[in-house]
Structures are given as structure tokens and as C-alpha cells.
Amino acid sequence: MEKIIIFDTTLRDGEQAPGASLNPQQKLEIAFSLEKLGVDVIEAGFPISSKGDFAAVQAIARTIKLPVICGLARAIKKDIDAAVEATKLARRPRIHVFLATSKIHMQYKLKKAEGEIIRLAVESVSYAKKFCSDIEFSPEDATRTQKDFLFQVIEAVIKAGATTVNIPDTVGYTEPEEYGRLVRAIKENVPNIDKAVISVHCHNDLGLAVANSLSAIKNGARQVECTINGIGERAGNASLEEIVMSIDTRKDIYSGLKTGINKKNIYKASRLVSKLTGFVVAPNKAIVGGNAFRHESGIHQDGVLKERSTYEIIRGEDVGFLVEGMVLGKHSGRHAFNERLKKIGFHLNKDQVDKAFDRFKDLSDKKKDIFDDDLRAIVDDEIRVAKPIWKLNSFEINSGTKIKPKAQVVLIKGGKNISEVSSGDGPVDACFKALDKITNFKAQLEDFRLEAVTSGKDALGQVSLKLKASGLIVSGRGSSTDIVEAAVKAYIDAVNKLETK
Ligand code: KIV
Ligand code: ZN
């Protein structure tokens, strides 16, 4: 069996999605999950882009053992130096250099002619090669690059030491047949192509990223760049889970090919990325959406009960999707609680278990049946920020149809209570205004979503929101049976992220 190399760029291209920004600790948490998932390469970040990204790539390189750890660089010495420095402690580092090759990019963005582009590409690959044996080169906007020029660039960078050549569909412009033909043409027209792995990197502007990547595989690409839940610039990247499960499910079509992904960890990785980026997974998202394995219509349910394969091509449990059941209640003890947490993938330290258990007990006073999703939400709340700067002490609101809503919020910072009162258009607005007064952040609310974690009138409400301050967008999440409290917690979560940026 030939292996398709899974190059995960959730932490680099994925994190470029507006509002997806992650701090180094969160990036490391995702990197652990990617390692468990069995990805071959983790593109950990773009080290020159910020101090935080450099620190994140360095921490991942130091800590994560199995996958190759890759840092991105423009074809500029200082970028390459930063990527080399940030990845040097990895067992197997990779430097990924990119330079645009399409006429549009060369003329308007780089203002350089073809000769100069080839010279820069070769110089930067040769320079990176002095420090690292594993070099990937990307001719950015390859799918809109004139073919003969693309072949020349690829040949030249392989000669200079590139071991992987990536063919990015940077703007999501290509379509499956055309992209497959391009990969085939590269194999047929670049004389030294056997010395490098052909990689593909597809954006989803036309909704074709996965289809394009699969077509490239059929035509000889052996590395796929993808992200968990398909997050990434604009409409995102090819989704890892969809590519992996396509190859796995249609063995008849992808015969002789396999990936090293531990499928059972897919759902967990998806939920972690969703939680930390604040990007909710659409219920109908293939493979990891909440409805992906649920059957609603009577005819389908009847069919599945008689024989699963009537309406299921993948079993939910194969990708780690647990069928939720009623799990715990008021009388469940700490041991049962912790055992259930382990079963759904949370291995917490004693302090975290204690905190989560207190939350669980509070919740079980308000809510009769507690489901796995409730547990995920409360654990998510309790362990997300190890040492939050701001913590909620209490809040009180006065609201109704005939009065202007007013809120008093008390936060704790460094052991001290700080309290403020504010009015607003509604109870949530009044709380947010009081929070702004306390924290002194003039943050703008960019997005606000409220979801019920499970069904029923007593369901936990989960608020996901995005705040913008000083050009940064951060996400926050909070849950409670009281939706105003969920909103307040989400706001504090986002403010804590802004404080550590
Ligand atoms: O989309 C793109 O072209 C990229 C490159 C840096 C590979 O992300
Ligand atoms: Zn990209």
C-alpha cells in the first residue's frame, strides 16, 4: 500500500481564518490532538508573522514527537531564519518556502519578472537547505500560473534541494479534472520530479477543495494539505476528515492507497478545533457534523434498524462519534463522573476534575438528565484557560418589558472583587457594558451565537462570540442553564484571550 502523506495546516492556514486566532497554549493542545490523530506533518505556524506564532511553533517543535514539524517562510532570508530557529528542536523539522508564480501575483503583488522569481526561488531553497534537509516549496497561485513557467520553477527548486513541491490552488479557482490534469502534466514534464513528493493544497472558494485534492491524488499527488473541519483563509481549505474518509470508504477507487490516520480520533480533534477557534461545526458538515450519523425520516430509521448499511456508508463510532445517551444525574459520584469524562476523551488532572465536578453538581441541581454534550460544555468552560486574569464572581440583572435593563457585574482579578453597574438595550448588553467598564477593553462585538447544547427546556445554553479590539479578533465561549450567564462567561473568556495577546 502506498501512503498518502497527511500534511495538516490547521495551525497555519486554518488559523488564518478571520477570527480563528489561537494562543500558543491552545496551538500546543491542538498539536497534541493532531499527533494522536496520526497526521504525518504538522504545519505549526508562520514563525516570522508574530512573536506568539514563533513561540507556538517552538513549543510544538520541542514537545511533539511523532509528526514532522513544519514552519512556513516567504522566500526571504529573515523568514527562513525564523522558521529554522523555531523548528530546530523538532525531531524532524521541515521548512516550507513559498513564492508566487502566477502573472497576476508577479505583476501586481511582487512586481518581479519571471527570471527574478526563479532566481529568488532557487536562492531561498538553497539557503533553507543549509539548515534543514526537508524542504517544501510552494509556487503560490500555481493553478493560475502559466504551465511552462510552473514546470521550470519546479525543476529548478528540486535541483536546489526541495524534497516536496506543493501545487497550491491559492484562490480556489481550479476544478477537479483540470487540477488532476495539472498534476499529471507536472509528472510528465518536469524531468527531476521523481526526486520530490507532489503535494496539493486546495482552497474552497468554489466548494471544490476536497474534490480537487482527491482528483490530484488519483493523478499522482502523494501529499495532501488539509485542515480539521476545513477551516482556513476565506472559504477554508480541504477538510482533513473528508479526504481521509473518502480514501478509506472508497477503497475500490483509491486502491493501493492508505493514510496513517487513526480514524477514531477524528471527531475529538474536530470538536477541539471548534472549541478553541470558536468556529461552530455546521450540523450537516460531512463526517463531523452533529447530524452526520443521525437518521430522521421514518423510512431511513426503519432501514437502519433492519440493516445499517442501507443508509450508512460510515459508522459514527468509526470516527469517534459517540451516540449520546443519558449518562449521569444528581446522584452520580465523582468516580463515575471522571470515568465518563475519560470515556469521552477528557483526561483531566485532579484540580480540573474537582472544578468540573463542582460545575456538574451545580448543573445536576438545575437539569435532570445530563448528557455527554453537557459534560463537554462544562469541562470546556472549566479547563479552557489555566490561569484566567478575569473570573466571574457574580452578576445581577434587572430587566423586563417596561424597564431599562440594568446589570451589576462583579469580577475577580488578582483575588480582588471589582464591581460595576451599567444599563443597556437588553440584559446581555447591560452586562457587556458593565464588563467593558471593569476590564477597560473597548471591544466590539463581532459575532454572537446562542445554541442549546442538548434538547429540553432545561438544556444548557452555550454562547460563542467574537470580540474585536485593536485590530485583533478573538473568540469566547461559555455555557450555563442561564443564557445571560453563558453570555457573560463567553465575554470574559474572550477578554482573557485579549489580555494575553
Ligand atoms: O494557499 C496558499 O497558496 C498557501 C501557501 C502558503 C501554500 O497557503
Ligand atoms: Zn493556503
- Over residues 51-74, mean pLDDT: 97
CB pairs under 8 A, 24+ apart, for 364-368?
A: 364/328, 364/329, 364/330, 364/332, 365/330, 366/458, 366/481, 367/456, 367/458, 367/459, 367/460, 367/481, 368/329, 368/330, 368/458
Q: How far is the CA of 168 from the centre of ligand 1 (A)?
A: 6
CA proximity to 73, closest of 121, 24, 5: 121
- Residue 374 has a CB neighbour count (10 Å cut-off) of 25
The sign one gets for the Cα dihedral 209, 211, 212, 218 is positive
Whole-number Å distance, alpha carbon 170 to ligand 2 midpoint, is 5
Query: From atom 1 of ligand 1, which residue's Cα is the shortest distance away?
Result: 170
Give the residue, 76 or 480, on which the prediction is more confident: 76
Query: Ligand 1, closest atom to CA 138?
Result: 7
Ligand nearest to the CA of 236: 2
pLDDT at residue 267 in the model:
93
Nearest protein CA to atom 3 of ligand 1, as residue: 170
Distance 12 CA to ligand 2 centre (A): 9
Spacing, Cα 170 to ligand 1 middle (Å): 6
Bridge partners of 197? 164
Nearest ligand to the C-alpha of residue 143?
A: 1
* Residue bearing the CA closest to ligand 1, atom 2: 170
345 in the Ramachandran plot: left (φ > 0), alpha (ψ -120 to 50) or beta? left
Q: Ligand 1 center to residue 166 CA distance, Å?
A: 9
User: 292-345 pLDDT, tens per residue?
Assistant: 887 767 787 778 778 888 988 999 999 998 655 556 777 888 888 888 888 777
Distance CA 193, CA 13 (A): 26
DSSP at 464: E
* Best probe residue, ligand 1, of 10, 41, 170 (max atoms within 8 Å of C-beta): 170
Q: Which atom of ligand 1 is nearest to the CA of 168?
A: 3
Identify the burial level of 313 via C-beta atoms within 10 angstroms of its C-beta, where 0-12 means exposed, 13-18 middle and 19 or more buried: exposed
Q: Which domains does the chain have, with CATH numbers?
A: 2-277 (3.20.20.70), 293-322 (no CATH), 334-383 (no CATH), 391-500 (3.30.160.270)
Looking from the CA of residue 140, the nearest atom of ligand 1 is 3
Half-sphere CA count of 39, side-chain side, radius 13 A: 31
Residue to substitute in 145, 165, 201 for testing ligand 1 pocket (most ligand atoms within 8 angstroms of CB): 201
Question: Considering every ligand atom, which ligand is closest to the CA of 226?
Answer: 2
Q: Which of 33-47, 317-331, 351-365, 371-385 has the highest mean pLDDT?
A: 33-47
pLDDT at residue number 19: 80
Ligand 1 centre from 138 Cα, in Å?
Answer: 7
Which numbered atom of ligand 1 lies nearest the CA of 72? Answer: 6
The per-residue pLDDT for 308 is 85
Answer whether residue 223 shows pLDDT above 90. Answer: yes
pLDDT at 301: 73
Would you place residue 203 in the very low, low, confident or very high pLDDT band (cuts 50, 70, 90)? very high
pLDDT at residue 154 is higher than 60: yes
CA of 211 to the centre of ligand 1 (A): 18
Q: Report which of residues 394 and 460 the model is more confident about.
A: 394
Under DSSP, is residue 107 helix (H, G, I), strand (E, B) or coil? helix
User: Which residue among 138, 150, 237 has the greatest number of ligand 1 atoms within 8 angstroms of its CB, and so is best to mutate?
Assistant: 138
* Closest ligand to residue 43's CA: 1
Residues with CB under 6 A from ligand 1: 13, 98, 138, 140, 166, 168, 170, 201, 203
The predicted structure's pLDDT at residue 51: 93
pTM for the model: 0.78
pLDDT value at position 379?
83
Cα separation values, 408 from 208, 263, 393, 427, Å: 49, 48, 11, 10
Binned at pLDDT 50, 70 and 90, residue 264 comes out as very high
Give the distance (Å) from ligand 2 centre to CA of residue 171. 8
pLDDT computed for residue 384 by the predictor = 62
Ligand 2 centroid to Cα of residue 165, in Å, is: 14
Confidence of residue 234 (pLDDT cuts 50, 70, 90): very high
Mutation probe of ligand 1 site: the residue of 9, 12, 13 with most atoms within 8 A of C-beta? 13
133: CA distance to ligand 1 center in Å? Answer: 21
Q: Whose CA is nearest to atom 5 of ligand 1?
A: 140
| pLDDT score for 333 | 83
Report the share of the chain in percent with pLDDT over 70. Answer: 97
Q: Taking all residues of the chain, what is their mean pLDDT, rounded to a whole number?
A: 92
Percentage of the chain lying above the pLDDT 90 cut: 68
**Atom number, ligand 1, closest to the C-alpha of residue 141:** 3
The Cα–Cα gap between 199 and 40 comes to: 13
* pLDDT at position 138 over 60: yes
Q: What's the 279 CA to ligand 2 centre distance in angstroms?
A: 18
> Of the candidates 384, 367, 441, 383, which has an alpha carbon nearest to the alpha carbon of residue 411?
441
Residue 326, beta-bridge partner list: 371
Contacts of 120 (CB under 8 A, 6+ apart): 75, 99, 112
Question: What pLDDT, on a 0 to 100 scale, did the predictor assign at position 338?
Answer: 86
The minimum-distance atom of ligand 1 relative to the CA of 13 is: 8
Q: What is the pLDDT of residues 157-168, one digit of tens each?
A: 999 999 999 999
Lowest mean pLDDT of 147-151, 227-231, 347-351, name the range. Answer: 347-351
In this predicted model, what pLDDT tens digit does every residue of 402-430 receive, in sequence order?
A: 999 999 999 999 999 999 999 999 999 99
pLDDT of residue 327: 65
- Please tell me the distance between residue 410's alpha carbon and the centre of ligand 2 in angstroms: 43
From atom 8 of ligand 1, which residue's Cα is the shortest distance away? Answer: 13
Average pLDDT (258-267) is: 97
